[in-house]
Structure 1
Amino acid sequence: MHPKPTDHPAPTVAFDEAYYQRYYFDPKTSVADPQHIERLGAFVCSYLQYLRVPVRRVLDVGCGIGLWRDVVARHFPHASFHGVEYSAYLCERFGWERGSVLDYRASEPFDLVICQGVLPYLNAADAQAAMRNLARLCRGALYLEAVTREDWEQDMVDQTLTDTRQFRHRAQMYRRTLAEGFTQMGGGLWLSHRAEVPLFALEHAGAP
């Protein structure tokens, strides 16, 4: 039986060389699947192209080892890609800008913001503050991925690969906070309220 998920703080995670060796560089324990990112990136980018969301500036917050960079370059070859990462180790290794999803600022908003696997490492208050900051940073679309408490409860998570030190927030907390600045599109995609993109009623997750 799996332990009951909790909202109590997990031990502080050091995003150092050992962490990334365990979860990204060691093929036996890596959670990074380049083929998965290829499929996911093709879906995200193709859907935005279908919706005619102009993508000229892309921000990846918590960009890790940069799995999204090449995918974005293939689908949006004329777009600039900016990686922001909290880990000092990764910034030194890959040249990312050091920053936090909580308070990162930019001179102008981005057309596509990516935030994958970051928010579950924040407590509820910080996760909500981070989502509101993502809304400030985005004028087009947001792709957000976060494992929720329901995912743990329903055994959707491979616990041999997933970092169990993450917080386990309810999906409703994410949806409710994101809805302040975005329209839910499904598949982890959210469209900024500032985006001038017309949508049919069944193209977004509206009220039943």
Structure 2
Amino acid sequence: MSTRFDPSFYRRFYKNPRTRVTTREEMSRRANAIAGLMRYLELPVKSILDAGCGLGLMRASLLRSFPGATYTGIEVSEHLCKQYGWTQASLAAYRPARRFDLIVCYDVLQYLTDRESVRALANLGRLCRRGLYFHAPTHEDWADNADLSCSDSDIQLREANWYRERLDRNFSHVGFGLHVRRGVAFAQWEMEKPAEKRL
């Protein structure tokens, strides 16, 4: 896995303006949205885990939003770990001695097998103290949302409910990809909840 994510992978999907799948600006907006939701729900953040952090495009915005918070980036790419100083680890096997107030897991699990993904999702439940932002492209996204001209097609596509069923074991989904660990107190107006939570 670590050899797959070599310099050419990041040049193609993140650095080359003609072939990249996202931009620094988009990732900054995403980080600001995550931080805004955590603050709105009054969930304090002193520690952040960016699981599969890649180039670390959300790091600066997250740290600006949560002054004094620690940021840990984990990544399987040996190349990126050497370049940016991330911890080389797979989310399926990562076992730090601490938990994190906020975990960001953006576009990671589509690169893992089903068995690895199940372990990674269970690990998110162990590692997360308060909030989890989770995103992975699904079968539904591939049909309706993904820009197939630049998206990496060498991935594991699963139904959205495959992820939801496993996330629901440890988290409550509050919308826009943010999940709050079960047992953590927070207030949310009824009309702010995702539709499936209102049924």
2:129 equivalent to 1:139:
yes
Structure 1 residue aligned with 2:146, among 144, 151, 157?
157
Give the CA RMSD over aligned residues: 1.8
CA shift for structure 1 position 80: 0.6
Structure 1 residue aligned with 2:180, among 191, 194, 201?
191
AA at the equivalent of 1:62? G
CA shift for structure 1 position 159: 1.0
2:59 equivalent to 1:69:
yes
CA shift for structure 1 position 194: 3.9
1:4-153 correspondence to structure 2 within 5 Å: 14-153=4-143
Query: How far apart, in 2, do the equivalents of 1:13 and 1:190 lie?
Result: 31
2:169 equivalent to 1:180:
yes
AA at the equivalent of 1:159? L
4+ residue segments displaced more than 2 Å: 194-205
**Gaps (5+ residues) in structure 2?**
none
Q: Which has the higher contact order (CA 8 A, sep 6+)?
A: 1
Match of 1:8 in 2: none
Worse overlay, 173-182 or 129-138: 129-138
Contact 2:2 2:78 in 1 (8 A): no
Please list the CA deviations of residues 176-202 of structure 1 after superposition, one character each: whole Å capped at 9, or x if unmatched: 000000001110110011423344444
Helix, strand or coil at the partner of 1:58: strand
Helix, strand or coil at the partner of 1:111: strand
Helix, strand or coil at the partner of 1:133: helix
CA shift for structure 1 position 38: 2.0
Query: How far apart, in 1, do the equivalents of 2:147 and 2:187 lie?
Result: 38
Pick closer, same or farther for the CA change 1:105–1:201 going to 2, 3 Å: farther
State the TM-score, normalizing by the size of structure 2. Answer: 0.93
Aligned residues: 197
Helix, strand or coil at the partner of 1:67: coil
State the TM-score, normalizing by the size of structure 1. Answer: 0.89
Contact 2:2 2:77 in 1 (8 A): no
AA at the equivalent of 2:113? N
